[in-house]
Structure 1
Amino acid sequence: MLIRAPIPTTDLYFLNSCGDLVGRPWRRGPVQRMGANVFRVGERYLVIRRDVEDVIKEVLSNPTAEIIYLIDDNLNAVDDDGSLPEGYRTRLRTLRDDIYRRMLDRAALVVASSAAITEGLPAGTASRLINPVWRGTPRPRTALTLKAGERLDMVHLGTGSHGAGFQFLTPALEHVLARASNLHFNYFSARPLLQGLDNHPRVHRLRPKSWRAYQRALPGFRFHLGLYPISGTPFNAARSINKILEYTLAGCPAMYNAAWAAPHGLVDGHSAFLAGSTMEAWADYVMAIVEDPSQLAAVYDGARAQYAQMNDLSGQRAFWQDIFIRTGQ
């Protein structure tokens, strides 16, 4: 059977830690792969977010199936979050109104990436929490030893689902690009997201990559400062620590909203740059870094230490061994 490539959620929450336990045509393994994002061990099934209808039907047609369903977005908050692009909101609604609800009706356990998701589950639903993990080690700080006035590349690693973040950043970027001629801003998108600022000579819109290509490219990026503003909506409150790991793997420290990042254990000036909720606060903080770029390497060192704690591959593997695989490998 031809199986499509998994979605990022499947890699981040299962395959990165347990991929070697999944059977392949050339090797045996305790885990059978039924679809891109569906796995089986005996009568236990792990369904990660979504899959094609034939695979979902096969799982649900087994009356003795013990289904574990994993979800990493707060689908109950979609209708109330005006910051989401309409196309993305439509896809989330489709998932919520179809596979998500069918899985909740049958799931013995729901695994989620945030307590904000489990709090919205139907009463009595058994649930557990899990964090994403990546394979790879952040590189040393060599590329971050900048002097004042040297080119400083900022980057936003979000996609179209972070539309509100780009709207927030636009006036702040306009302000800092006008004040510092060594600043550049990079982002990945198939279409312009920064209004007229996309025509600025130091704004670089990069071609989006497939998930596989992005994973390969991430450790080779050469940016100096990540920017990740998150508006305070119920949907965003459920976002996982994934972007924290991504920016560190990309080799740079990052700036986050203090209200979102501090609860995840990030410390301002040590493992991240934590800014206030206003455009002015972000612009001022960026300019402070421009004036003293030595902060970049020091904070990145803290981010690397934080990554080592957050990116718990062995812990995620033990989690799935306990509730799904149960082979002790």
Structure 2
Amino acid sequence: MVSNRFLIFEFNTEPTTAYFLKPFLQKRGLQVENYHLHSLPKNIDLKGKTVFIVRYLTDSLKNLIKANRRNIKRLIYLMDDDLLDVRATSGLSLRYRWKVFWYATRHKSWIKDIGAEVWVCNEHLARKYRDLHPRVVLPYPLEIGPLGVNFNPDGNILVFYHSTYSYRKEFEWLAEVVRKVTEKKTNILFEIIANKCTVSFFKNLKNVILFKPMSWRTYLRFSIMRYRHIGLAPMFDTPFNRGRSYTKFFDITRAGGVGIYSAESIYAEMISSAGAGMVLPMEVKDWVEVIIELARNKKKRQEIYQNALRLIEHLKQKSEQIWTSLEIH
């Protein structure tokens, strides 16, 4: 029996792993073994292995790695958010801030002292944590294709916002957009994933379909059903949001929608220059007008979606080039 040479430690099954690691490892036929942080076996063979720590770590994992550090071939810490600065999470929910602090921020010195390679998802994080000598890695698009996209303008138009509670401020802002659009147009429906902290913003609004948060695996299957038309990605310019990647662009395109993106997002210029989405300032009036315009303009949606597919092909090649330079084998 051949031993797995690549080990991934993650909090749960993380979208970070799915976007930044699994596609590249699988395409190269490399054997991978996953471990969840709260269910680590007592005996894990780390000798000669490449070990990936995805976003979070625990004291138990630190002890395991410290005891075997000399035998580990490569140790890599991967983060796709700004997890190592407590100030970056200011304004987020207390629950999320505590999770980030306990499982990431407080371990920054250990990550440096143990000699881990650090991989980050954008140039902003690379500059901010230059003392860790990070490498920038890019996500790989998942399950995206041209088939099954719904451009039928004759029935209802479905606008969607699929996000997490770390975007609470954006949820609250979006509720006003939804209210004004549905007051003007009865054929525009909204599909929103919201948890108990954000669902209250939409409960009394008409033409809103609410879903509870789901696991990453479930969400991936859910998003592949391409019955949607317009995807929303509001984002304020905050320290935490500056550390994000452009996976939201992949999510919206995979779900069959054309995207409306915040001009304050780190990927706004990329989207705008490629014509791969509508990029707007965070003004309610602008978002209401563009949602209504896209809803009635089938041709424009088709053009934007095709541009999005072309940009995704470019980003796919770019991520492959970077991965090749990382010499993982």
TM-score, normalising length: structure 2: 0.83
Aligned-pair distance for 1:285? 1.7
In the TM superposition, 1:107-146 aligns within 5 A as 107-121=115-129, 123=131, 125-140=132-147, 142-146=149-153
Aligned-pair distance for 1:300? 1.0
1:25 corresponding residue in structure 2: none
| Number of residue pairs matched by the alignment | 312
1:204 corresponding residue in structure 2: 209
In the TM superposition, 1:202-241 aligns within 5 A as 202-241=207-246
1:8 corresponding residue in structure 2: 15
The CA deviation string for residues 132-168 of structure 1, in whole angstroms up to 9 with x for no partner, is 1133232336411314xx3111101111111111111
- Counterpart of 2:166 in structure 1: which amino acid? S
The CA deviation string for residues 74-108 of structure 1, in whole angstroms up to 9 with x for no partner, is 12454355442221111111123434432122234
1:88 corresponding residue in structure 2: 96
Q: Secondary structure at the match of 1:267?
A: helix
What is the distance in 2 between the residues matched to 1:267 and 1:39?
Answer: 47
The CA deviation string for residues 231-260 of structure 1, in whole angstroms up to 9 with x for no partner, is 011110111011111111111111001232
* Equivalent residue for 1:310, pick from 291, 311, 315: 315
What is the distance in 1 between the residues matched to 2:226 and 2:59?
Answer: 37
What is the distance in 2 between the residues matched to 1:259 and 1:221?
Answer: 27
What is the distance in 1 between the residues matched to 2:47 and 2:314?
Answer: 30
What is the distance in 2 between the residues matched to 1:287 and 1:279?
Answer: 13
Q: Secondary structure at the match of 1:234?
A: coil
1:301 corresponding residue in structure 2: 306
Q: Percent identity?
A: 18
Contact 2:268 2:279 in 1 (8 A): no
Q: Return 305-314 or 126-135, whichever deviates more.
A: 305-314
TM-score, normalising length: structure 1: 0.83
Aligned-pair distance for 1:44? 4.4
CA spacing shift, 1:142–1:269, aligned 2, 3 Å: same
Aligned-pair distance for 1:47? 2.1
Indicate the structure whose relative CO is greater, using CA pairs within 8 Å and at least 6 residues apart.
1
In the TM superposition, 1:1-329 aligns within 5 A as 6-19=13-26, 33=33, 35-36=35-36, 42=48, 44-51=50-57, 53-64=59-70, 65=72, 66-121=74-129, 123=131, 125-140=132-147, 142-147=149-154, 150-191=155-196, 193=198, 195=200, 197-260=202-265, 263=268, 265-267=270-272, 270-312=275-317, 314-315=320-321, 317-320=323-326, 322=327, 324-325=328-329
Consecutive unaligned residues of structure 2, counting only runs of 5 or more, are 1-8, 38-43
Consecutive unaligned residues of structure 1, counting only runs of 5 or more, are 23-28
Contact 1:153 1:186 in 2 (8 A): yes
What is the distance in 1 between the residues matched to 2:307 and 2:266?
Answer: 14
What is the distance in 1 between the residues matched to 2:266 and 2:79?
Answer: 21
What is the distance in 1 between the residues matched to 2:98 and 2:305?
Answer: 37
What is the distance in 2 between the residues matched to 1:100 and 1:272?
Answer: 36
